[in-house]
Chains A and B, each alone.
Chain A
C-alpha cells in the first residue's frame, strides 16, 4: 500500500517544507563555534570547498575555504545557505511507519520494528513475484563509498538486478557519448584548462545559474582575449557578454553541430595529422554531414546561417578551444547524438589532450561523476565495469568474495523501473536520495506508479513528496553527518568530512544498509565498521577498470586537495588532463568519430500544441528541492515557478507580464504566472522544475528516452499556452509575498 496516508496539504503541514530562517540560536545570538570542518558543498558537481562552523553538534555557519584550489572561497547562494539544512525542524529523527490513524499519517516505531518490517516485505514480495520484483532507486548526492555500497547491497543483499540511480536523469547521455567516442567517461580536462582556451563554446548549459563558479574560469579566459560562443534557446546570464549567440531551437542541437562539422570540412579547418594518428571513422562522420550545410541547419535550428559559419570559423581556426556542454543538449531523446556531435568537433580539430583543449560535460549532481562509476547503475559494476562482461564480473566477484553467479545481470534503467511499477511488474521499492515524484518526467504517471507499489520504503533525512507514499521511512544522514569521498565534475576525488552526528535516532545511511544486509542474511559480505573500509574495498574493486582508484588514499586526497583519476597505483600523480599525447581509452588507443544523422525530437509542435517547452533550474534551488525548498533565504530568491516567454508570444497568447497562463501538454497541465522577457526564443517557453504537485513542470514532460542512454527528454516538449485569468502583482521574484515558515 503506497498511497499517501493523508492529503498533500496535511502531510506538508506536518513534514514541510517549512522554512528555516536563521542559524541555531538565531541571528542575534552571535555566532559562537567550537571548531571548523574542511569539507565540500553538498549540492552540484562543482563540489566547492567550504568550511563549516560547528557548535554543540550543530552546524551554525560557514567560512570560505580560500585555500581549496577549485573555488578559492567562492560559493553560490545555495552553498552560502547550505548549512541551514542542518538543525531543521523538518528533519526526520526517528523511524516511521504509515498509519492513517496516527497524527501526521505516520507513527513512530523502533529501528528494530522498521528494519524487520522492511526485510519481511522484501522477502514476501520476492518469494511471491521473484527477486527482480523488488527494485532499488538511488542518487548521486551520496559519496563514492555509499554509491559503491549500494551497488553491492542491491546485488548481494537484495539479490535484485533492478538498481538504478537519479543520474539517469542527469549525466547518462554524456557518459554514453564519452564511452562510445573516447572510451572513458570523465571530464576531459581540469577546469584550470578553461582560461587557456582561445574559444570557449558553451552548449546547453546555463552556467551562471547551475554552475556559477565556472563563470570565473570563463571570465579568466575572456581576460586573456578568448572568444565566447553560447548555444542556448535563452540569453542566459553568461550569454549576455558572448561574442556569438546561437539561439538554437529546442531539440535541434545535433543539426547545429553537424553544420559546423560540414563547414570545418568545407574550409579544411581540420587537424589531419591528429585525425590520422589518433582517430577512427572520420569518413563516416564526414559522410553524415555532407548535406548539412549551414543554410539547411539555419532552417532547422533557427540559428542564422552567418552565425553558424562564424562559430565554425572561430572553432576551426583557433589554436585552442574548449566546448562545455550540459543538460541542455543531454536531456533529449538525441542526447547521445548531441554529445557525439560535439565530440566530433573536438576530434576534427585536434582539440583534445592539450592545454586549453577539450570537449567536456559539466557534471550536474554533487557526486554525479563518482556516483556513476562504481556500480550504481543498472548495467554497471565498480571501476565503470560492464555487468554483462564475464571478465568484469569475475574481477568484482573476487573482490566481493562471492560466486560470480551471485551477481545478478543487467537491470532496467530508472524510468523503466517507474514504468514497470506502473505495469505491476515491480511490486516493491527501496529508495534513497531520490525524489522521483518531482524529478521524473510525466509526474502524473509517476504518482500513479507509486500508488501501485505493494511496499515502498525510503531512506531520507526529510520526508520528500515521494516519501509521502512510503510505508516505512528510515531516517538517514545529511552530507555533513558522514565521512567519505566524492568525485567532482573535473574528475577530482575529494574528501567529505563529517561535521556533526546525525540527530535523534537518525543513522548514517551506510549503517542502515549494513544492518538491512545483515537482516537479509548477507551480513558476511558487509563487515564494515567505518566508511574508510568501504573506500579501501572500492579501490580494489575499481583496480584495472577505466575508473581506476587503486592508487588513491584518503590521506593523499586530503593532503593534495584532491586527486584526479585514473590513478592506477600508489604514488601515481593522478591524471588531471585526459588524452595527452592523443592517447584515448579504446583498446587501440584511438578515439572514434560517429556519424550523427539528424532526426526529430520525440515530440514536435503542431496546431494543437504549437509552442516548445524546455525545463531547467534556477540558481537558488537544487534539483527536486527536497533540501533547498526548506531554506527561507533561498526560497525568497525565487519562490515559485514562472513561465518565461517572449513578448511576441505573450502578445499572441494575449497576456502581459504577471498574468496567469495555463500550459498544457499531452500529459498534463500547469497554471503559473507569465514572465515576459525578451531573452527567450519566441517559439519556446521555459519553466523551472524544482516544485511538486500542481507546480511541477514535469506534469508536462514526456517519457520518451534516448535509445542508448535511456535519458528522458526533459528539454523538449510540445505545449499549448492560454490565458488562465487572474494575475500576480509582480514577477520580480524578490517581491513575492512569502508564507511564513518555521522559526
Chain B
C-alpha cells in the first residue's frame, strides 16, 4: 500500500493553499469524500465568492491552528490535536453538538452534521498523511491551488510568499497550513491605494462602447 508514499517524517511536508489558482472545478470536494475515513462525506469548503460578478472561487481546508480556537471553546473537550498538530473532528462519544466550534472558528471550517449529531471537519486525511501520502484534495487539485509537499519543493517551483500568522482582532493565530500571498518582501499591502487599472474593471469594454 505504501508504494506511492512520497514523504517521510524528516521531509516535513506542508499543506499550502493558493486561492488565486482555484478554478472552482470541485475536484477537491469530490475527492474529499473518497478519503478512506471520510466515508462519502466531503469536509472541504469551496466558496463561490460572488458568482454574479466573477468566476472567483476559494477552497478552504482546516488551517490546523497551533492553538485551535475550536478546541478552546469546546465545552466537552471533544476536539483533539494529533502529535503532528492535526486538529481532528470532534470525538463522537464527547461531542454534544453545541456548534460552539462552528461559530468560533476564525476560518469557518467545522461543520455540524445534524444527521449524526457531531462536528466533523477536515483532518488533512490523517490516514493518508500518516503514511506519507498526500491528502486527497491536494493530490487531485488540477490547478495546484491546494498543494502538499516540502517547503523546498514549493520554493523551487512556485512564486509567492508563504504566510501562516494571522491577526483576528487581538487574537493571534498561527496555523499549520500555509497561505500564499504576493511577495512579502514587496512590503505591506496598502488596501486603500486601490488597484491598477485592469481589463477586469470592464471585461467587455462596455464603458467605451466596445472599442
Contacts and interface: CB of A to CB of B under 8 A. Distances in A.
Nearest to B39: A27
Given A213-B142, A679-B54, A302 B26 contact: no
A77 B30 CA distance: 6
A676 interface: yes
A314 B140 CA distance: 33
B26 A223 contact: no
B48 A77 contact: no
Contacts of A212: 23, 25, 27, 142-143
Interface in B16-51: 20-21, 23-27, 29-31, 33-34, 36, 39-41, 48, 51
A64 interface: yes
Contact of A223 (B6, B24, B41, B159): B159
Contact of B26 (A77, A215, A682): A77
Contact of B56 (A27, A240, A657): A240
A77 B25 contact: yes
B203 interface: yes
A63 B36 CA distance: 11
Shortest Cβ-Cβ A-B pairs, 9 listed: A27-B40, A208-B23, A212-B142, A80-B30, A64-B139, A77-B30, A215-B143, A27-B39, A237-B23
What secondary structure prevails in chain A residues at the interface with B? Answer: mixed
A216 B141 CA distance: 9
Q: How large is the interface on A (under 10, 10 to 19, 20 to 34, 35 or more residues)?
A: 35 or more
A75 B146 CA distance: 13
21 contacts: A22-B40, A27-B33, A30-B36, A64-B140, A74-B142, A75-B31, A77-B27, A212-B27, A215-B21, A215-B142, A245-B203, A298-B210, A302-B210, A303-B205, A304-B208, A304-B210, A305-B211, A619-B26, A657-B52, A677-B51, A732-B51
A648 B52 CA distance: 12
B23 A298 contact: no
Contacts of B82: none
Nearest to A238: B23
A28 interface: yes
Contact of B34 (A62, A620, A676): A62
Given A31-B36, A679-B203, A74 B54 contact: no
Contacts of A220: 157
A618 to B, nearest CB: 10
Contacts of B210: 298, 302, 304
Contact of B204 (A77, A676, A682): A682
A223 B143 CA distance: 12
B206 A76 contact: no
Interface of B: 4, 6, 20-21, 23-27, 29-31, 33-34, 36, 39-41, 48, 51-57, 134, 136, 139-144, 157-159, 199-200, 203-206, 208, 210-211
Interface of A: 22, 27-28, 30-31, 61-64, 66-67, 73-77, 79-81, 208-209, 212-213, 215-216, 219-220, 223, 235-242, 244-245, 247, 295, 298-299, 302-305, 307, 619-620, 633-634, 637, 646-648, 657, 676-679, 681-682, 731-732
Contacts of A67: 4
Contacts of B134: 64, 66, 73
A598 to B, nearest CB: 17
A647 B53 CA distance: 10
Contacts of A238: 23
B21 A219 contact: yes
Contacts of A298: 210-211
Contacts of B211: 295, 298-299, 304-305
A80 B140 contact: yes
Contacts of A647: 52
Contacts of A64: 4, 134, 136, 139-140
A676 B143 contact: no
A682 B206 contact: yes
B55 A679 contact: yes
B9 to A, nearest CB: 19
B23 A215 contact: yes
